């Protein structure tokens, strides 16, 4: 490894280590997500400011692995038991409405000469930075609540929907063929999930348990293997690798939950998912993921953002995030208090990681100008800082709404039958 590569790696990793200190210092004024600090400090050491780093193949590959890990952990976070029912149904409807509005907005921008393409702008407007929001929502105690279930479901679709759209509309010249390939990949993923849900042999379960606190770390290695395998399969299918990473995260969670040991008189239940997730997050957020955001800052076109015309587009895109992702939150008005509906709209309008990815693809393929890409990323940076602050403030003012009790149809019929038997019959004189 050359000296210049090592110098760049030291600077990038140094920025990653420095960003938590900067975020902690900023707490007295605002809650500043670490991803924002990493991108901004990456801009500082990049070619447009200090010019201290030169990106080579080694650093670029490590940064791409960071993006893969980010999407893998986003899929790992999805607990289908918590978001099933109305949260996931509304989340799908929400994103589809966002996509329609995003296409209309992008078409109008293209017709007005503001942009040179439609697809990349439309899909970028429909994203949500749920991975960036999770630490903020966790610290605020929102994740275990009913409101948190709607945020998680909406945020998951705000990442999965754009990833699917990237695979179909952005990385292929033949959307029809890609759709058929996507169906095949989905069938393969479901088959893998079915295999993952089956209990492993007792010896394998015991090995996963016994290596959790050893150098073997079998659970972590199996999860990483699944991630790399599905990323490779997605690539072989000519789909975006992020789709493979997201599917791998969901399947890895399913596998680890299905292999949890049963409690005995001698040993308690071991939650493999929680144990392995902690280690995967240490690997991802400790090294790979910060590299992706710092390198994204290094590649950020600050010169384009410095132009007045580009700078004026930042608030425009910030408002468009609210229009495209925030306006469809009205679909939740029957489930949530009006203040929570507004809070949800703001939280789901915050987007950054996939905006960085989509705008980068657009510039590389000549379908997006660098000034528009810089303006969208700049608006994304502001969205993950401002929208969560305002959204959490609105949620804090909303009254607590108890989660509705779920009663099975059979239990409901038994309850109605028992009530009818106990109720007096008006036609019976003895009941008067």
pLDDT of residue 410: 43
3-state secondary structure of 275: helix
| pLDDT, mean of residues 189-207 | 74
Topology of the domain covering 3-399: Na+/H+ antiporter like fold (1.20.1530)
C-alpha 179, offset from chain centre: 22
Query: Quick one: pLDDT at residue 315?
Result: 94
Angle, alpha carbons 377-77-71 (nearest 5°)? 40
Query: Rounded mean pLDDT of 313-318?
Result: 94
Which of these, 352, 356, 327, lies nearest to 342 by C-alpha position? 327
- Is 174's pLDDT higher than 70? no
Q: How many C-beta atoms lie closer than 10 Å to residue 421's C-beta?
A: 7
Q: What is the per-residue pLDDT across 316-346, written as a single tens digit (0 to 9) for each?
A: 999 999 999 999 999 999 999 999 999 999 9
pLDDT value for 173: 63
Element containing residue 274 per DSSP (H, E)? helix 272-283
pTM for the complete prediction? 0.77
Q: In this predicted model, what pLDDT tens digit does every residue of 89-129 receive, in sequence order?
A: 999 999 999 999 999 999 999 999 998 889 999 999 999 98
Confidence of residue 136 (pLDDT cuts 50, 70, 90): confident
Rounded to an integer, what is the distance from CA 388 to the centroid of its chain? 15
What's the first-to-final CA gap in the chain, in angstroms? 94
CA distance 244 to 225: 12
The stretches of 29-129 forming alpha helices (DSSP H) are 34-45, 57-76, 80-83, 86-111, 119-124
At 412, list the tokens: 């409901």
What are the structural domain ranges in the chain? 3-399
pLDDT of residue 241: 86
pLDDT band at residue 348, thresholds of 50, 70 and 90?
Answer: very high
Mean pLDDT in residue range 252-257: 80
Are the beta carbons of 309 and 114 closer than 8 angstroms?
no
Q: What is the DSSP letter of 373?
A: H
Tokens of 71: 């999407």
Contacts 24+ apart (CB under 8 A), 137-141: 137/347, 140/392
As a whole number of angstroms, the distance between CA 394 and CA 48 comes to 38
Residue 40 has pLDDT above 60, yes or no: yes
| Cα-based angle 351, 354, 359 (whole degrees, multiple of 5) | 105
């Amino acid at each position: 490894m050359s000296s210049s590569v090592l110098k760049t790696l030291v600077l990038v990793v140094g920025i990653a280590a420095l960003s938590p200190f900067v975020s902690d210092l900023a707490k007295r004024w605002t809650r500043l997500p670490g991803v924002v600090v990493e991108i901004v400090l990456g801009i500082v050491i990049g070619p447009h400011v200090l010019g201290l780093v030169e990106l080579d193949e080694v650093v670029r590959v490590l940064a791409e692995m960071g993006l893969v890990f980010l999407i893998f952990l986003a899929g790992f976070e999805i607990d289908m038991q918590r978001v099933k029912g109305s949260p996931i149904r509304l989340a799908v409807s929400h994103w589809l409405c966002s996509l329609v509005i995003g296409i209309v907005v992008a078409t109008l921008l293209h017709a007005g000469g503001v942009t040179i393409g439609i697809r990349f702008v439309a899909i970028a407007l429909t994203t949500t930075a749920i991975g960036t929001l999770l630490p903020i929502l966790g610290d605020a105690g929102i994740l275990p609540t009913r409101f948190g279930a709607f945020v998680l479901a909406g945020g998951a679709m705000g990442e999965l929907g754009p990833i699917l759209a990237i695979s179909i509309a952005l990385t292929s010249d033949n959307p029809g063929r890609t759709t058929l390939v996507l169906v095949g990949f989905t069938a393969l993923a479901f088959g893998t999930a079915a295999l993952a849900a089956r209990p492993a042999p007792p010896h394998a379960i015991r090995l996963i348990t016994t290596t959790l606190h050893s150098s073997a770390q079998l659970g972590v290695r199996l999860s990483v293997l699944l991630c790399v395998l599905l990323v490779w399969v997605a690539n072989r299918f000519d789909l975006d690798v992020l789709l493979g990473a997201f599917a791998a995260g969901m399947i890895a969670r399913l596998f680890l939950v299905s292999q949890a040991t049963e409690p005995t008189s001698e040993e308690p239940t071991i939650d493999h998912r929680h144990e392995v997730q902690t280690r995967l997050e240490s690997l991802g957020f400790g090294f790979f993921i910060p590299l992706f955001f710092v390198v994204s800052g290094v590649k950020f076109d600050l010169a384009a953002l410095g132009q007045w015309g580009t700078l004026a587009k930042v608030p425009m895109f910030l408002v468009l995030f609210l229009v495209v992702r925030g306006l469809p939150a009205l679909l939740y008005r029957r489930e949530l208090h009006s203040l929570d509906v507004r809070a949800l709209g703001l939280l789901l309008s915050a987007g950054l990681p996939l905006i960085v990815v989509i705008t980068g693809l657009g510039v590389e393929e000549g379908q997006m100008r660098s000034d528009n890409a810089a303006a969208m990323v700049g608006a994304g940076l502001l969205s993950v800082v401002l929208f969560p602050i305002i959204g959490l403030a609105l949620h804090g003012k909303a009254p607590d709404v108890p989660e509705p009790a779920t009663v099975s149809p059979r239990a409901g019929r038994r309850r109605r039958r028992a009530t009818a038997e106990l109720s007096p019959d008006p036609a019976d004189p003895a009941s008067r």
